[in-house]
Amino acid sequence: MTNGRHIIKNGLRGLKLIIVLDSNEYIFYLNEKIENFNKMFQRVGFYVHLHKSIRNEVLKNIRDDQKNSFYKLIIENNILVNEEPLSLELFKKYEMLGFKKGDITIASFCEKIKADFLITENRDFLKSKKFNFQVLSLQKFLEMFKLI
């Protein structure tokens, strides 16, 4: 399952989940305005983190007129941007497991921040079982938490 941290407040049990969205999720949203994308940000207890390498990949693959929308999405949804470098040790770990360069960065970031979920449409990630975090498509994630 997940590594989600439980919070007890006023007798109610909630879940605090650390979520990383792959660059493709942002790009698909900005290009196609995926209808259910924003539902992820309406749930209390979901904390979305964005590494600078993912941000840079998104910016490289969207039109100039979409960049303001991307930054607005980050700000309005309190997405936590991480500018810290990733460890060489984690890079080597995922390289030894046979991952490609961009995937190595994302997997290393997820492990570094102890992410509970990576949301991606990347088939290599979706097929692999080599992670300390759960990998799901956006559709499967939203279904799991009954957001659609």
Helix crossing, 52-60 with 67-76: angle to 10°?
150
Residue by residue, pLDDT tens for the chain (148 residues) are 444 544 434 433 567 899 999 999 999 999 986 778 888 888 889 999 999 999 999 999 999 999 999 999 999 999 999 999 999 999 999 999 888 888 999 999 999 999 999 999 988 788 887 788 999 999 999 999 888 8
Predicted pLDDT of residue 123: 85
Predicted pLDDT of residue 42: 82
Residue type, 43: R
Predicted pLDDT of residue 14: 65
| Separation in Å, CA 52 to CA 38, 70, 111 | 21, 13, 15
SS3 of residue 14 by DSSP: strand
CA-based torsion, 97, 103, 105, 106: positive or negative = negative
Tell me the two tokens of residue 79.
């997405």
Asked if 29 and 37 touch (Cβ cutoff 8 Å), the reply is: yes
Predicted pLDDT of residue 101: 85
Kind plus residue range of the DSSP H or E element containing 125:
helix 123-127
Asked if 11 and 104 touch (Cβ cutoff 8 Å), the reply is: no
pTM above 0.85, yes or no: yes
| Separation in Å, CA 43 to CA 12, 19, 106 | 15, 12, 23
Predicted pLDDT of residue 2: 46
Predicted pLDDT of residue 37: 87
* Cβ neighbours of 95 (radius 10 Å): 16
Predicted pLDDT of residue 12: 33
